Homo-oligomer: A and B are copies of this chain.
């Protein structure tokens, strides 16, 4: 039995404009530390498996930058989706590739752009997930112990402990992102966890789930599978991919399957969904300012400022996010940074391609 890790790196992360662009999406930015999110994800996974068994699924816009960022991964381990079809098709594609290499493999799925501080703890929890996936032939999720009534995450409700010695539970239900009141109920209940978007399963288990719950997607995947290693690979992939519907793995499989487990993980985790999350996560000065580059704070508190090669001076400013790049400058209050997406959407509508 060998473990293959699949990193999902297809997103753009519009909320990180002006740093995130089509060719430099969120996962390629050093938002959470001095290295890119993707680089940190690969390094985290190298504690569990060999670089030869780490795959990245992305799109052609990002392919080149990703290959440069992860030179230790074999060329064949960078999978290119012809177009984005949400998580289920992407995971299915990775599953048939892995099955082709090792039909007995265990496979893990990991977002490229989440932050996990404690790498050792992460590896320990993953080993527990791998064990249960192999023993129970189940689909294993990872649920983070919530620390606040977050409305930006989906939740997993757990059921009963499978083994008193391990933090592993049967899953009772998945819940979409709640409103504040519901989030507080979830937090108070004690049996809801944040859905981290990480999964572990045997490759034959997930393929069986595709066959059961997404049979029409499986038909396409099966056609693609038969083209692996052949000259028709690209054309088959492109043709079949165009027919697939967009659907998430949560909605398409996880919410329907019976043999779903959750590993209750108790570590500092953040999906780094916005500039606000970056302010929360990063080290602060004595006035709770977070900065990168040459920034002067005078009588200013609780700001996030990323300078890029110039001196930035804030005088008498509180709770502001300032992101300066070579060709664009964003200024937005803390607490409102979700709205960056609206801004980027408006650029798309106006076809302001130089800003995308």
Contact surface of A with B, Cβ cutoff 8 Å? 18, 296, 298, 307, 310-317, 320, 322, 324-333, 336, 339-340, 342-343, 346, 355
Number of copies: 2
Q: Report whether A330 and B310 are in contact in the complex, using a CB–CB cutoff of 8 Å.
A: no
User: In the complex, given contacts A315-B340, A316-B332, what are 18 additional A-B residue pairs having Cβ atoms less than 8 angstroms apart?
Assistant: A298-B339, A310-B325, A310-B327, A312-B329, A312-B331, A313-B330, A313-B331, A314-B331, A314-B332, A315-B330, A315-B331, A315-B339, A315-B342, A317-B333, A322-B329, A322-B331, A324-B324, A324-B329
Give CA–CA (A325, B296) in the complex, Å.
16
Q: List 5 A-B contacts (CB under 8 A).
A: A310-B326, A312-B331, A313-B329, A315-B343, A329-B329
Give CA–CA (A173, B312) in the complex, Å.
44
Residues of B contacting A298 in the complex (Cβ-Cβ under 8 angstroms) = 339, 342-343, 346
How near does chain B come to A293, taking the closest CB pair, in angstroms? 10
Which of B307, B328, B331, B342 sits near A320, CB closer than 8 Å?
B331
How near does chain B come to A303, taking the closest CB pair, in angstroms? 9
Q: Report whether A317 and B296 are in contact in the complex, using a CB–CB cutoff of 8 Å.
A: no
Q: Report whether B343 and A311 are in contact in the complex, using a CB–CB cutoff of 8 Å.
A: no
Residues of B contacting A313 in the complex (Cβ-Cβ under 8 angstroms) = 18, 328-331, 343
Residues of B contacting A320 in the complex (Cβ-Cβ under 8 angstroms) = 331
Residues of B contacting A333 in the complex (Cβ-Cβ under 8 angstroms) = 316-317
Q: Report whether B317 and A331 are in contact in the complex, using a CB–CB cutoff of 8 Å.
A: yes
How near does chain B come to A310, taking the closest CB pair, in angstroms? 5
Given A343-B296, A343-B313, A343-B315: A331 and B328 interface contact (C-beta under 8 Å): no
How near does chain B come to A71, taking the closest CB pair, in angstroms? 32
